[in-house]
């Protein structure tokens, strides 16, 4: 419940979803029943509230915030402290979804101890339920295993792993030849063996994703990986058509379906606001709700005059006069 009084000027939304919190157990049950798992990547309180109300299963606080929110060209620059800010904001807004926080580049590669320490912070300071880490190199498999052994749920991530663009040579799909396709499946299996409860498959051909999904006992979450995964994930801003990633400056990612054109709505609203402020039509009487009684107005005007602010008193008096004229006009129109 909000601690803001009901009659205050500002107030947050009321409690969102009354449904039970999604847990690792409920996700596993859903997977066993063959029900698709819904995941959305989001980065702040308002988007988390929307996910909560929509009943999305999992909210991933992704390091893609570096690009979508902070405007970088890659995911690499975002720091752990910045990620924790996003995690906390999402945790305040999403009460139903399972919350998963990305480990940002540079926060877990040095050692298993560093990986565990970072994962602990994401849960304790970020309010997350689990963490996600990228890649399937031996050191990252070891890191995933260590984090699981520390009692923290881990989601793996194979295929296109944006943190590895230095090695991959850019944002390139994976699994498009025999060796690469086999590597995707083998890496997913290794992450399962390390104790991951789920694996994201990003930008791989549908047959490769289907093979990995069939080979694994844990759910796969696809993004640009076809319809044969255990679930799907898209970025909040992408699926709403809010903006474009810097590395897709001219087009939306090929795998993304836009379920709305919210960016167009936002642009239209901002232009209308600018025009109304410029023309003086906003704010009108309907959006100027706070009044001062006639007696207090007179006293206020006298006080202004007493302290030598005659010009200010005249300005206030003119506003009162215009308000009276407007109300009189409205009254006359209502009786016609």
State pLDDT tens for residues 75-123.
999 999 999 999 999 999 999 999 999 999 999 999 999 999 999 999 9
pLDDT surpasses 60 at 17: no
- Looking at the structure of the chain, the number of domains it has is 2
331 touches 315 (CB < 8 A): no
- Asked, for residue 3, whether it belongs to a domain, the answer is no
Are 251 and 194 in a shared domain? Answer: yes
Residue with tokens 């601690």: 3
In a domain, 281, yes or no: no
Cα gap 161→180, rounded to integer Å: 13
Work out whether the CA dihedral 107, 111, 114, 118 comes out positive or negative: positive
Residues 308 and 196 in one domain: no
Q: How confident is the model at residue 3 (pLDDT cuts 50, 70, 90)?
A: very low
pLDDT at 132 over 90: yes
Q: What number is the average pLDDT over the span 174-197?
A: 94
* Contacts of residue 168, Cβ cutoff 8 Å, sequence gap at least 6: 160, 161, 174
> Domain for residue 336, yes or no?
no
Looking at residue 19, its pLDDT comes to: 72
Cis check for the bond before 283: say yes or no (omega within 30 of 0).
yes
196 lies in the same domain as 309: no
pTM above 0.95, yes or no: no
**3-state SS string for 299-321:** HHHHHHHHCCCHHHHHHHHHHHH
**Class of residue 151 by CB neighbours under 10 A (exposed 0-12, middle 13-18, buried 19+):** exposed
Residues 221, 297, single domain; the answer is no
182 and 298, same domain (yes or no)? no
Cβ atoms within 10 Å of 335's Cβ, excluding its own: 5
Q: Are residues 319 and 199 in the same domain?
A: no
Q: Is 142 helix (H, G, I), strand (E, B) or coil?
A: helix
Predicted pLDDT at 143: 96
Does residue 130 sit within a domain?
yes
Is there a catalytic annotation at residue 276? no
Residues 182 and 302 in one domain: no
**Which of the listed residues 263, 294, 312 is the one where a domain comes to its end?**
263
| Higher local confidence (pLDDT), 223 or 7 | 223
Shared-domain flag, residues 85 and 213:
yes
The CATH number of the domain holding residue 170 is 3.20.20.60
The reply to whether 170 falls in a domain is yes
Q: Which of 82, 186, 202, 325 is catalytic?
A: 202
Tell me, yes or no, whether 293 lies in a domain.
Answer: yes
Same domain, 201 and 292: no
Which of 263, 295, 311 terminates a domain? The answer is 263
Do 114 and 154 lie in a common domain? yes
Same domain, 237 and 292: no
Residues in the chain: 336
Structural contact between residues 216 and 188, judged by C-beta atoms closer than 8 angstroms: yes
Sole residue written with tokens 């988390």: 48
- Residue 257 and residue 301 in one domain: no
Q: Is residue 4 situated within a structural domain?
A: no
pLDDT given for residue 242 in this prediction: 87
Range of the domain at 312: 286-328
- Evaluate whether residue 13 is within a structural domain: no
Contacts of 130 (CB under 8 A, 6+ apart): 24, 98, 99, 100, 101, 152, 153, 154, 155, 197
């Amino acid at each position: 419940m909000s601690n803001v009084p009901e009659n205050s000027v500002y107030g947050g939304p009321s409690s969102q979803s009354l449904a039970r919190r999604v847990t690792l157990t409920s996700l596993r049950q859903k997977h066993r029943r063959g029900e698709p798992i819904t995941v959305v990547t989001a980065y702040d309180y308002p988007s988390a509230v929307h996910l909560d109300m929509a009943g999305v299963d999992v909210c991933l606080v992704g390091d893609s915030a570096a690009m979508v929110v902070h405007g970088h060209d890659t995911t690499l620059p975002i720091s752990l402290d910045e990620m924790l800010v996003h995690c906390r904001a999402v945790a305040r807004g999403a009460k139903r979804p399972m919350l998963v926080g990305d480990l940002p580049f540079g926060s877990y590669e040095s050692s298993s101890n560093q990986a565990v320490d970072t994962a602990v912070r994401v849960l304790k300071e970020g309010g997350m339920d689990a963490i996600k880490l990228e890649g399937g190199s031996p050191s990252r498999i070891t890191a995933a295993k260590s984090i699981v052994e520390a009692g923290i749920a881990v989601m793996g991530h194979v295929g296109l792993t944006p943190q590895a663009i230095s090695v991959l040579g850019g944002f390139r799909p994976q699994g498009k030849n025999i060796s690469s396709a086999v590597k995707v499946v083998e890496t997913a299996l290794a992450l399962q063996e390390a104790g991951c409860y789920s694996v994201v498959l990003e930008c791989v051909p549908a047959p490769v994703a289907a093979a990995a999904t069939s080979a694994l006992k844990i759910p796969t979450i696809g993004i640009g990986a076809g319809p044969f995964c255990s679930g799907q994930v898209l970025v909040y801003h992408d699926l709403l058509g809010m903006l474009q990633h810097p590395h897709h400056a001219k087009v939306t990612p090929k795998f993304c379906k836009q379920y709305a054109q919210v960016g167009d709505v936002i642009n239209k609203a901002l232009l209308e606001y600018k025009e109304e402020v410029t023309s003086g039509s906003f704010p009108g009487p309907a959006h100027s709700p706070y009044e001062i009684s006639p007696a207090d107005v007179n006293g206020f005007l006298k006080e202004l005059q007493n302290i030598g602010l005659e010009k200010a008193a005249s300005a206030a008096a003119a506003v009162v006069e215009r308000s009276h004229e407007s109300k009189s006009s409205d009254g006359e129109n209502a009786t016609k």
